[in-house]
């Protein structure tokens, strides 16, 4: 099945869901021969809505198998296990979903076609409910207390009610994804499916030439003696951005960053990466295409006249190649212990990315297990400061400085890294960061984050100012979270 056929059926199924024709939508989605992770997610949601739990579990398995970073798929499979009474499995899936959030307050899937925000506090809420069903009330309370650090103003009541229930050892309501929340195909791709009439309706015109009785699509024109018998060759070729390449094989994208092309398309390559993926432009759209699906072209005008005596513009491709495969990616075993491999990002587990807050922020790659003197030496060389003029701390000034030295438990520090990242604070000994004027600001208005990197706060909150990104955006810390926020929303204390 071609990409266009898949896209057409996907769009048709979503339209059926909007009309509340859920059974017809499920039938269309199941008939797609090679579904991607988003389509499998939609199939699982429709099965879950029909209480077909085994089929839903299988669909979510395949969705995760195609995209192991899809946190909302882990969340939905956790809901499926919960409804089946498999609370240990549901807790494990909710835990996986929380790890995929990578410490962020939420993930907004709108850019990927899903009109839903997955909140970290809701994931922790469901983890607590799974523990409560197993009789682990103390663990349930701990998860709900942790959820308070990720709460938003709209989700505060949900967490508070759950905490009250755990104190009475009563079960509480499960946080779910709305049944109408499904992945929708890219609007730009769907727009290309519409048939367009570029010619329009034919119009009959009459000739203004005397004694010309012809009527048709265009009037007859007087013939010029000695004129050319064939079409004229173009005199100027328009300069185009990038190098021209012709597409040899059909490429079906699997992510939003990739571009769908078919044999014969002419694309213009902007950049070729070391991983054999090429950034190209086609019909005004930019995207990624495997370079081995392309063949470089030379566009020029030949000087040799044809049989009619006219120079013709030609496109001369290179020699043909064998049918290629997608560029190689690194495979590693999945975390859930199953005997299958999934595509994963190339990581270097031997190093920790250490973010250091100073007058400006720096990032260092520190070998895991490094002693304090080695860390201090790396910071000293990066900041170009003598080691005896500054100190490092593993907690923020707002929480009270915990100064590090040679006696610090570095193994415990490295083991506390979240997703291979850790944050430290650096301040000079003669002028601690905590005492700097203007280090703390107060929120004039409430601000709710719209992106994972933003900082959420409410009016009156005290925010520790870490850096000034520019004149309009600051980076700060509030309620244990770090992010950026508009400068106009705060004022000096």
Element (H, E) at 467: strand 462-468
Residue-wise pLDDT tens digits, 234-255: 433 344 567 888 888 888 887 7
Give the CATH superfamily of 237-329. SH3 Domains (2.30.30.40)
- pLDDT of amino acid 432: 38
We find that the CATH architecture of domain 351-435 is Roll (3.10)
Cα angle: 31, vertex 37, 39; to 5 degrees: 35
Cα angle: 150, vertex 68, 158; to 5 degrees: 25
CATH of domain 440-492: 2.30.30.40
- pLDDT of amino acid 335: 47
Spatial CB neighbours of 447, under 8 Å, sequence gap ≥ 6: 454, 455, 456, 457, 485, 486, 489
- pLDDT of amino acid 422: 86
Q: What is the DSSP string of 398-414?
A: GG---B--TTS-HHHHH
List the end-to-end C-alpha distance of the chain, in Å, as a whole number. 63
Asked if residue 463 lies in contact with residue 478, where contact means CB atoms within 8 angstroms, the answer is yes
Q: Which residue has the tokens 């240990």?
A: 88
What is the C-alpha to C-alpha distance for residues 388 and 380, in angstroms, rounded to an integer?
9
* Long-range pairs for 474-481: beta carbons < 8 A, 24 or more residues apart: 474/441, 475/361, 476/441, 477/396, 477/398, 478/443, 479/149, 480/149, 481/105, 481/149, 481/150, 481/455, 481/456
What is the C-alpha to C-alpha distance for residues 348 and 362, in angstroms, rounded to an integer?
19
- pLDDT of amino acid 338: 44
Give domain limits for the chain: 3-167, 237-329, 351-435, 440-492
| Predicted TM-score of the model (pTM) | 0.43
Q: Do domains 237-329 and 440-492 have the same CATH topology?
A: yes
Cα angle: 477, vertex 480, 486; to 5 degrees: 30
Per CATH, is 3-167 categorized as 1.25.40.10?
yes
Q: Which residues are registered as beta bridge partners of 282?
A: 285
Residue-wise pLDDT tens digits, 452-462: 778 889 988 88
Which runs of E-coded beta strand occur in 193-263?
Answer: 205-206, 215-216, 243-247
Cα angle: 478, vertex 480, 485; to 5 degrees: 35
**What residues in the chain have per-residue pLDDT under 70?**
1, 152-156, 192-241, 298-350, 396-401, 429-439, 493
- pLDDT of amino acid 302: 46
- pLDDT of amino acid 476: 85
The total of other beta-carbon atoms located within 10 Å of residue 74's CB is 26
Q: Nearest 5°: phi and psi at 213?
A: -95, 10
- pLDDT of amino acid 39: 92
Tell me the chain's radius of gyration from C-alpha atoms: 31
Spatial CB neighbours of 391, under 8 Å, sequence gap ≥ 6: 403, 404, 405, 426, 427, 429
Helix 37-49 to helix 53-66 angle (10° resolution) is: 160
Q: Checking DSSP bridges between strand 351-357 and strand 421-428, what pairing results, if any?
A: parallel
Residue-wise pLDDT tens digits, 339-383: 443 333 333 346 888 888 877 778 788 888 888 888 888 888 888
Q: Checking DSSP bridges between strand 205-206 and strand 215-216, what pairing results, if any?
A: antiparallel
- pLDDT of amino acid 206: 53
Residue-wise pLDDT tens digits, 83-120: 999 999 999 999 999 998 888 888 889 888 888 889 99
Greatest CA separation found in the chain?
107
What is the C-alpha to C-alpha distance for residues 210 and 218, in angstroms, rounded to an integer?
15
């Amino acid at each position: 099945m071609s990409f266009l056929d898949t896209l057409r059926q996907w769009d048709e199924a979503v339209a059926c869901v909007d009309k509340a024709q859920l059974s017809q939508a499920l039938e269309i989605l199941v008939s797609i021969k090679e579904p991607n992770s988003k389509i499998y997610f939609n199939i699982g949601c429709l099965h879950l809505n029909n209480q077909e739990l085994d089929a839903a579990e299988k669909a979510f398995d395949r969705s995760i198998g195609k995209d192991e970073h899809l946190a909302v798929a882990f969340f939905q499979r956790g809901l499926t296990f919960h409804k089946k009474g498999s609370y240990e499995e549901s807790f494990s899936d909710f835990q996986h979903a929380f790890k995929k959030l990578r410490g962020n307050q939420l993930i907004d899937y709108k850019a990927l076609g899903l009109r839903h925000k997955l909140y970290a506090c809701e994931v922790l809420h469901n983890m607590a409910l799974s523990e409560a069903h197993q009789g682990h009330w103390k663990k349930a309370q701990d998860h709900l207390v942790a959820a308070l650090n990720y709460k938003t103003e709209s989700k505060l009541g949900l967490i508070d009610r759950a905490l009250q229930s755990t104190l009475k050892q009563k079960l509480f309501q499960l946080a779910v994804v709305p049944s109408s929340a499904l992945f929708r195909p890219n609007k730009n791709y769907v727009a290309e499916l519409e048939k367009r009439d570029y010619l329009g309706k034919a119009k009959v015109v009459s000739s203004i030439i005397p004694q010309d009785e012809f009527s048709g699509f265009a009037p007859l024109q007087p013939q010029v003696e000695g004129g050319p018998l064939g079409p004229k060759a173009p005199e100027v070729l328009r300069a185009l951005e990038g190098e021209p390449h012709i597409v040899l094989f059909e490429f079906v994208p699997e992510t939003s960053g990739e571009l769908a092309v078919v044999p014969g398309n002419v694309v213009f390559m902007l950049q070729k990466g070391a991983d054999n993926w090429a950034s190209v432009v086609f019909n005004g759209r930019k995207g990624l295409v495997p370079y081995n699906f392309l063949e470089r072209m030379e566009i020029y005008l030949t000087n040799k006249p044809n049989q009619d005596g006219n120079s013709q513009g030609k496109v001369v491709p290179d020699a043909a190649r064998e049918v290629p495969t997608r560029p190689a990616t690194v495979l590693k075993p999945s975390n859930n212990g199953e005997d299958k491999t999934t595509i994963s990002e190339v990581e270097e587990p031997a190093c920790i990315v250490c973010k250091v807050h100073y007058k400006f922020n720096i990032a260092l790659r520190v070998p895991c297990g490094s002693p304090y003197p080695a860390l201090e030496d790396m910071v000293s060389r990066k900041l170009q400061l003598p080691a005896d003029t500054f100190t490092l701390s593993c907690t923020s000034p707002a929480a009270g400085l915990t100064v590090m030295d040679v006696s610090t438990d570095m193994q415990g520090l490295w083991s506390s890294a979240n997703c291979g990242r850790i944050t430290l604070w650096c301040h000079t000994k003669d002028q601690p960061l905590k005492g700097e004027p203007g280090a703390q600001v107060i929120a004039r208005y409430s601000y709710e984050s719209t992106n994972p990197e933003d900082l959420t706060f409410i009016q009156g909150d005290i925010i520790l100012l870490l850096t000034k990104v520019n004149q309009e955006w600051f980076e700060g810390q509030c309620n244990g979270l770090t992010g950026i926020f508009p400068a106009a929303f705060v004022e000096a204390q």
